[in-house]
Structure 1
Amino acid sequence: MDRVVRLAQLLRTPVVGGDGEVVGRLADVIVRLRGRDYPLVTGLVVRVGGREVFLPAEQVADLDAERITLASPRVDLRHFERREGEVLLRADVLGHRVIDVADVELVRAYDIALEQRLDRWVLTCLDTRRPPHLWGRLRSRAAWPDWRDWKSFEPLIGHARSARVRGPFARLGRLKPADLADLLEDANRTESHEILQTVHADPELEADVFEELEPDWQTRLLGERSDAEIAQVLARMRADDAADALNELPQSRRQPVLDALPAGQRTKVLTLMGFNPSSAGGLMALDVLALAGDSTVAEALRAAGESLAFQPQALTSVYLAGEERRLLGVVTVVELLQADPSARLDDVADRDPVRAGPETDVEDVALLMTDYNLLTVPVVDDEDRILGVITVDDVLDAVIPEDWRRREPPPHPAHRMEEPGPEPASNDIPPAS
């Protein structure tokens, strides 16, 4: 039967040599992260006199809460120096926060379970519920929390050389940008720095995450970067979000960041910055799928499928445009899918589409969308030329009151992500003997 011990009970346990003499006391346990496998215990840090020394796992004959027995009395007394890829469970994990990937929240690791499998020890579970105290002592077994599989979490090690061995994404790569933004807004400076380092490996994801951040957090995190680094993020963001982010930066930094943007994105951002941020012009996306009325349904669907750079929310409709992009009509993608592929857009489109001017207040745009059950509204100038399109998600983001936006989000449905690999350890971790 596999044996399980708890790190909290192991710390300061006497370490006894093969001759029965006490060598020192346990200061920490070293593990190596192994991707989808459970972290492997590779050694111990033992305090001997006034120094900390390293003991390889192979030298440990027995790991127990009462005493740790070595296979021989000989100990290398050279001072312990952390090596690349090593994670120290007491220093890096115990008492620190980890990311609960399934429930998308930061939780604290109050204890760690180590399980012996064959002749090796592995980290299998974390205890993330604050232990109840009574007169400074832990209560009985009935008050113990449920133990949860290590694979439900992503550790925030806070040690750059150790973080590199986890790969570019690990479990965080499966989270949605909005989830990652929520984590960043709950993280402290050290935690947010490490999360951003992970996200930075995918520049497109990084831009999506910054789009989801609240403006004050967005400004704070961007402000810690150089002008060129800010421009790299804004270049991949939607132009309307990039314009909003730029407007929130200190005045002295706006022009240098603008100058560092690619020409195409710079033109879009400057165009949007010319409008009131709370107007249809300030919120609109500039990329609009507009075709001539004599185009066929099949051609319109093909064009929608090839518009990979467009904001997906803006592709719910195709607009008919005449000379100088004057708005002539609109047809939804669903209507296109239901129409004869050979039919002309002129024959299937609504020739009197709802529209808004660039100075229209966002609240009025919201009323238009509500009255006409619309997901998008085209924005036109005084001569009915298409300037852009405003989408329902942009309107909702602008009209939801600030105090509502900052409410606690609803709880995530209870679930756990499946991981291939060894069977997880039992959630009922017994106390170490």
Structure 2
Amino acid sequence: MSSPQSRFYAARLAGTPVFDPIGESLGKIRDVVVLPQARAAARAVGFVVEVPGKKRVFLPATRVTSIMPGQVISSGVMNVRRFEKRSGEQLAIGDLLERTVTLLDGSGRATVQDVGLEQNRHHDWMVTKLYLRRIRSGSGLSKLVSRGQTLTVDQSGVKGLFGTDTEQSAALLLASYQDLKPADLADIVQELDAKRRIELAEELPDDRLADVLEELPEDTRVEVLTGLDSSRAADVLDEMDPDDAADLVQELPEQVAEQLLGLMEPEEAEDVRRLMAYDEYTAGGMMTTEPLITAPETPVAHCLAMISREEFSPSLAATVHVCRSPLETPTGKLLGIVHFQHLLRERPDRPVGEILDADRHTVEPNMPLSGVTREMATYNLVSIPVVDEDGRLLGAVTVDDVLDHVLPDDWREQDEPPATTGQIDLSEIARGIHDGDTGSEPAGTAASTTTRREGGRG
């Protein structure tokens, strides 16, 4: 069995599994939280651990019993509250990597590639070593010679490591989170300060940023979008689902909103303007204008190919809407719908118009949220078509659209989910709305009694 290490490097430790004393996996190390000190080396006060569900929590250094190659052993006691960086703290990977420092021996500047920590006689983990890459300087041959040169120095041999004049590369930060789902990346963005949020947003591709904005609280997504160049902001709105883009545009100052709508692609802007004409808490205000639509003569095989496309969410892909031409909203007359399970049971060459579901439920665009919710709950629907007075399809409201409007406004910022014994019951939500109860105070959240003041974070 490997013996405990007396030194480790933060970037190399990232991804290492964390186990409790009996060998049960608790999560993986994602970062090291260090606290700069005026007259001594910076001290590690704990670790950021990613637990199941992609949630990041704090593990105090005092709860780590040993660090060995390929594993970190803890005492098994871990606070389940989402990690939040406190004032003065730095993340060894998230804040210090790629930071520019000046070498005190006068040999120039370098960027931090890794941070080494050693355990002292008091069993505290201290930042002692920095693995650096020199910044190219000079010209001609001297510049070529210095390219890529690396060196390891003591922390005391540099200045600027914890300064605020240089910031970590947003591109490197983004690379460390590239495998996260949009909702998880949104949690990370929410934890950053305003300047860092914009830096990270500028590095994200348009479609990725659009997905992240849809998961952020209202004030944060307005802050991010208005921090971008106008043309870039319009491109991001083009990539968003029309209903989410409409919600976001309505939150902007009127002058800014009109400017961005003018810069958007005409078809996308038209969809957004159409949705903005409806009250937010109506079927028209919640619907997406881009559900799956096909003609009655379309074969089942083609419909199955449509629903398999990655860009459609599961709730949208569950239903195909069969309409007369034109096939873009507002369409010709809605003939009916077909659920994907029904498609799976039919022969591939059969026209979809021959297998329309007998039970068809629709709502008008001005129906209030409470009515839409009751209709969906009564008939166990994951989506419901929105039609005008002539029976033309305008869009569809999905169950995730409903949940976004019935959950508390700050649900994305809550540390713990509501304690439930099963799946969410839409009929209960519908009754709550009907009675005037929006459920703004989730009942019963699980919380640990262990606080994050351990490990010198007081």
TM-score by length of 1: 0.59
- Given that 2:361 and 2:385 are in contact with CA atoms closer than 8 Å, whether structure 1 keeps it comes out as yes
- Given that 1:243 and 1:270 are in contact with CA atoms closer than 8 Å, whether structure 2 keeps it comes out as yes
2:177 aligned partner: 172
- Given that 1:327 and 1:385 are in contact with CA atoms closer than 8 Å, whether structure 2 keeps it comes out as yes
Distance 1:187 1:321, change over 3 A: same
2:6 aligned partner: 4
Q: 1:173, CA displacement in angstroms?
A: 0.7
2:187 aligned partner: 182
Cα-to-partner distance string for 1:341-373 (whole Å, 9 max, x where unaligned): 233323422144110111111221111111111
2:169 aligned partner: 163
Pick one of 351, 372, 376 that aligns with 2:383: 376
Pick one of 384, 389, 394 that aligns with 2:396: 389
Corresponding position: 1:343 with 2:345? no
2:213 aligned partner: 210
2:296 aligned partner: 293
Distance 1:300 1:122, change over 3 A: closer
RMSD of aligned residue pairs (Cα, Å) = 4.4
Residue aligned with 2:397, SS: strand
What is the rounded CA distance, in whole Å, between the counterparts of 2:256 and 2:236 in structure 1? 15
Q: 1:263, CA displacement in angstroms?
A: 1.6
2:322 aligned partner: 320
Q: 1:89, CA displacement in angstroms?
A: 9.8
What is the rounded CA distance, in whole Å, between the counterparts of 1:352 and 1:364 in structure 2? 18
Corresponding position: 1:226 with 2:229? yes
Corresponding position: 1:355 with 2:355? no
2:201 aligned partner: 196
- Given that 2:334 and 2:392 are in contact with CA atoms closer than 8 Å, whether structure 1 keeps it comes out as yes
What is the rounded CA distance, in whole Å, between the counterparts of 1:252 and 1:341 in structure 2? 51
- Given that 1:272 and 1:282 are in contact with CA atoms closer than 8 Å, whether structure 2 keeps it comes out as yes
- Residue identity matched to 2:344: L
Cα-to-partner distance string for 1:192-238 (whole Å, 9 max, x where unaligned): 345435xx332211111111111121112222233223212211111
What is the rounded CA distance, in whole Å, between the counterparts of 1:89 and 1:321 in structure 2? 62
1:61 aligned partner: none
Greater RCO, CA 8 A, separation 6+: 1
Q: 1:122, CA displacement in angstroms?
A: 6.6
- Given that 1:287 and 1:310 are in contact with CA atoms closer than 8 Å, whether structure 2 keeps it comes out as no
What is the rounded CA distance, in whole Å, between the counterparts of 1:111 and 1:247 in structure 2? 36
- Given that 1:97 and 1:107 are in contact with CA atoms closer than 8 Å, whether structure 2 keeps it comes out as no
What is the rounded CA distance, in whole Å, between the counterparts of 2:5 and 2:183 in structure 1? 40
- Given that 1:286 and 1:387 are in contact with CA atoms closer than 8 Å, whether structure 2 keeps it comes out as yes
1:2-151 to 2 correspondence within 5 Å? 4=6, 103-104=55-56, 105-107=83-85, 123=115
- Given that 2:10 and 2:116 are in contact with CA atoms closer than 8 Å, whether structure 1 keeps it comes out as no
Give structure 1 stretches of 5+ with no counterpart.
7-30, 39-87, 114-120, 128-137, 148-154, 412-433
Give structure 2 stretches of 5+ with no counterpart.
17-33, 57-82, 94-112, 128-160, 326-330, 419-458
- Given that 2:288 and 2:397 are in contact with CA atoms closer than 8 Å, whether structure 1 keeps it comes out as yes
Residue aligned with 2:6, SS: strand
Equivalences, count: 307
1:268 aligned partner: 271
What is the rounded CA distance, in whole Å, between the counterparts of 1:233 and 1:247 in structure 2? 15
- Residue identity matched to 1:173: Q
- Given that 2:10 and 2:114 are in contact with CA atoms closer than 8 Å, whether structure 1 keeps it comes out as no
What is the rounded CA distance, in whole Å, between the counterparts of 1:206 and 1:111 in structure 2? 24
Distance 1:308 1:368, change over 3 A: same
- Given that 2:217 and 2:410 are in contact with CA atoms closer than 8 Å, whether structure 1 keeps it comes out as no
Q: 1:282, CA displacement in angstroms?
A: 1.2
2:454 aligned partner: none
Q: 1:176, CA displacement in angstroms?
A: 1.4
- Given that 2:234 and 2:260 are in contact with CA atoms closer than 8 Å, whether structure 1 keeps it comes out as yes
Please say which structure displays the higher CA radius of gyration.
1
What is the rounded CA distance, in whole Å, between the counterparts of 2:118 and 2:369 in structure 1? 47
Distance 1:122 1:214, change over 3 A: closer
1:303 aligned partner: 306
Q: 1:256, CA displacement in angstroms?
A: 0.9
